[in-house]
Amino acid sequence: MTATWALGASPMSMPFSGVKAGALDRSAARDVAAPAESADITRLVDRAKEGDAQAFGALYDRFQPEILRYLTHRTGSPETAEDLTQQVFLKAWQAIPRFEQRGVPFKAWLYRMAHNQMVDHFRTHKVTSELGDFDTPDDADQESALLTGEMSEALHRALARLSEDHRQVLTLRFLMEKSAREIGEVMGRKEVTIRGLQMRALQALRREIDEMGGLP
């Protein structure tokens, strides 16, 4: 399915290299001062709210690869993720006249929509979502070392046993490299709550791995 406003959108490469060395340092820096949504995005959103399809096409080009990558990790299926991503942006185009700039940032609004679309998809198909493969460098810090590609099969089993909140916060933090503030905007929670949720999610992941006899 190709949206009419997606002109010029080029296909993205599906493989994801995972959490890069230093990614957590960059993410931690954004925790201190996460920048406000840029003025050009705000202008595009305002134009799209007035029915400007070209402006919405620019927003699609800007955010589609990121939303597609998020849904690919959450579903484990590039094909499903592509379908869901198109549905997200079609619904966003229909709903954008009601979007309020003073509310959550536009990108966080898209992430919430993507999450809801994924939940609806799995509820309809009665399957369990899992995170995609993890592939992190050997020199990543100790926390990120949990998420190495060679351990992905065992991690899949452990992650599947976590709550949806725990899976989501780990995806956003370690795969999408979002700051606690950005995750809070996506999940509709305070930054301090997200920090605690991340800590509990990592602890729960470690417990599941220990119950499985550890990683290979």
**Residues 84-136: tens digit of each pLDDT:** 999 999 999 999 999 987 778 999 999 999 999 998 988 877 544 444 444 43
Higher pLDDT, 119 or 16: 119
pLDDT tens, 171-194?
A: 888 878 888 999 999 999 999 999
Half-sphere exposure of 136 (CA within 13 A, CB side): 25
pLDDT of residue 206: 86
Q: Which of 21-30, 45-54, 74-83, 140-149 has the highest mean pLDDT?
A: 45-54
Please, which residues have CB within 8 angstroms of residue 133's CB and are 6 or more apart in sequence? 16, 18, 149, 152
Rounded distance between C-alpha atoms, residue 162 and residue 128, angstroms? 11
Structure tokens given for 183? 């995750």
pLDDT at 215 over 60: yes
Rounded distance between C-alpha atoms, residue 154 and residue 160, angstroms? 10
* % the chain with pLDDT above 70: 69
* DSSP 8-state class, residue 144: G
Rounded distance between C-alpha atoms, residue 23 and residue 3, angstroms? 33
Name the residue type at position 140: A
* % the chain with pLDDT above 90: 44
| Closest-CA residue to 107 (of 67, 56, 78) | 67
| Closest-CA residue to 119 (of 47, 52, 71) | 71
Higher pLDDT, 31 or 38: 38
Across 72-76, average pLDDT: 86
pLDDT of residue 144: 53
Q: Which domains does the chain have, with CATH numbers?
A: 36-129 (1.10.1740.10), 132-216 (1.10.10.10)
Per the CB < 8 A criterion, the answer to whether 169 and 181 are in contact is no
Average pLDDT value over all residues in the chain: 75
Please, which residues have CB within 8 angstroms of residue 81's CB and are 6 or more apart in sequence? 68, 71, 72, 74, 75
Residue with tokens 């296909």: 11
- The pTM (predicted TM-score) of the whole model is 0.63
Rounded distance between C-alpha atoms, residue 34 and residue 135, angstroms? 26
The region, left, alpha or beta by phi > 0 then psi within -120 to 50, assigned to residue 128 is: beta
